[in-house]
Amino acid sequence: MSEANQGSSLFPNYARYPIAIVKGEGSWLWDDKGKKYLDFVSGIAVTNLGHAPHRIKEALVKQLDELWHVSNLYQIPNQEAAAKLLTDNSCADAVFFCNSGAEANEAAIKLARRYHQKIAETGRYEIISFYQSFHGRTLATLTATGQDKVKEGFAPLPEGFKHVPLNDIPALEAAITDKTAAIMLEMVQAEGGIHPVDEAFVQHIAKLCKEQGILLIIDEIQTGMGRTGKLFAYEHYGIEPDIFTLAKGIGSGFPVGATLAKGYLAEAFGPGSHGSTFGGTPLATAAVKATVETIVGEKLAERAADMGQYLMGRLQDQLGAHPSVVEVRGKGLIIGIECTEPVASVVSEAQQRGLLILTAGPNVIRLLPNLLVSREEADLAVTILSSIFAERTAAV
Ligand code: PLP
């Protein structure tokens, strides 16, 4: 066992920081020694409403008193209501609930294949996705992921996956064959370094998909639920995916995933075709319902757009001209600061100064504040980051 994991009964699969967070409220976290942190990680885009949001807590506590789990053998009114809210507020007509992002993408891949095999009867099965993408860690979703590091040691991988460079129309066109079932992409590649996809590329994909009977799958697991300034990031582009996936922020911290699709795909998931014991429990979907109602009712996507513009502007002002900053980019409240060198030490220094941030690849700082973050909190984060960068310049 590695030194870092000494004394732990857990697998050493996470490189954890040596801090234990024990309490959270709004944008703030406290560790077991009482130190307070401003949280610009949000559990990696999960606690979009901040920590312990009152309305979600109330919904969960009420449901805890009534019923936790019954199985999908029975009608689950909360699941129906949560699905209706999601379809009323998106281009989708049907929802499948599961427990994580990887599971939601796994279901999306299965749905695309099954549609082509059972409904359209084209026999197509191939999924085209993009280099630097991240779609999860099940065997199919890590195969769809465009990063070799998540695949190492897991061969043989499932067949029927291809990768092309993002924003490269000729490469995409060359990869399409009569076996192409779906094209799968993130609107902002998140784990891959905060790369928003080009508008023209998205429009071209949507057109190709329509012309050639290929399904468009959008992975909204990190970008969905208001984070980019729209409820779902695909709305920025005026397109409608055939399938899109959600997880992370959909339950405000309660583990839930969802695969959403157009009505013409619904029959592909007939009785017995797919399922999950814990998918859409009364408890999980109480969290989804309260979360969607809050984000839509309180116009938090619009708020994220405004705050994102503010924060991005402040970061560009304060850090944009720094010699080690290449670019500040993002959409709404998913922001990346690309640097000329690895940024792990910036994350550690920020932690010491009471600010939690994360990376997106070795050279990119990733900021994911909650959608209710205040200007004062945004200013504080900018001040801490500016001081770290200024001290670095002074030290050179
Ligand atoms: N897709 C995207 C875009 C993600 O960012 C992630 C997680 O980071 C996943 C899929 C996988 O989600 P999960 O970790 O819940 O399985």
pLDDT tens for the chain, 396 residues long, are 455 577 899 999 999 999 999 999 999 999 999 999 999 999 999 999 999 999 999 999 999 999 999 999 999 999 999 999 999 999 999 999 999 999 999 999 999 999 999 999 999 999 999 999 999 999 999 999 999 999 999 999 999 999 999 999 999 999 999 999 999 999 999 999 999 999 999 999 999 999 999 999 999 999 999 999 999 999 999 999 999 999 999 999 999 999 999 999 999 999 999 999 999 999 999 999 999 999 999 999 999 999 999 999 999 999 999 999 999 999 999 999 999 999 999 999 999 999 999 999 999 999 999 999 999 999 999 999 999 999 987 766
Task: With H, G, I as helix, E, B as strand and everything else as coil, classify residue 338.
Answer: strand
Distance 102 CA to ligand 1 centre (A): 6
18 CB burial (10 A radius; 0-12, 13-18, 19+): exposed
Tokens 């109480």 -> residue: 286
- Tell me, which fold does domain 3-52+300-395 have in CATH? Aspartate Aminotransferase, domain 1 (3.90.1150)
Question: What is the number of other CB atoms lying within 10 angstroms of the CB of residue 168?
Answer: 15
| Residue 69: Cβ within 10 Å count | 11
Architecture label for domain 54-297: 3-Layer(aba) Sandwich (3.40)
Mutate to test the pocket of ligand 1, among 218, 221, 358 (most ligand atoms within 8 A of CB): 221
Q: Where are the domains of the chain?
A: 3-52+300-395, 54-297
Q: Which atom of ligand 1 is nearest to the CA of 223?
A: 3
Q: How far is the CA of 195 from the centre of ligand 1 (A)?
A: 16
pLDDT in tens, 281-336: 999 999 999 999 999 999 999 999 999 999 999 999 999 999 999 999 999 999 99
Q: pLDDT of 62-108, one tens digit each?
A: 999 999 999 999 999 999 999 999 999 999 999 999 999 999 999 99
Q: State the angle between helix axes of 77-88 and 282-297 in degrees (0 to 180), rounded to the nearest 10.
A: 30
Both tokens of residue 142?
Answer: 């890590």
Q: Judging by beta carbons within 10 Å of its beta carbon (0-12, 13-18, 19+), is residue 14 exposed, middle or buried? A: exposed
With the most atoms of ligand 1 within 8 angstroms of its CB, the residue from 222, 254, 276, 278 to mutate is: 222
Question: What is the residue with the minimal CA distance to atom 5 of ligand 1?
Answer: 222
Find the farthest-apart pair of alpha carbons in the chain and give their distance in angstroms, rounded: 65
Tell me the C-alpha distance between 215 and 238, whole Å.
17
49 close to ligand 1 (CB < 6 Angstrom): no
Alpha helix locations (H) across 41-127? 42-45, 54-66, 77-88, 101-114
222 Cβ inside 6 Å of ligand 1: yes
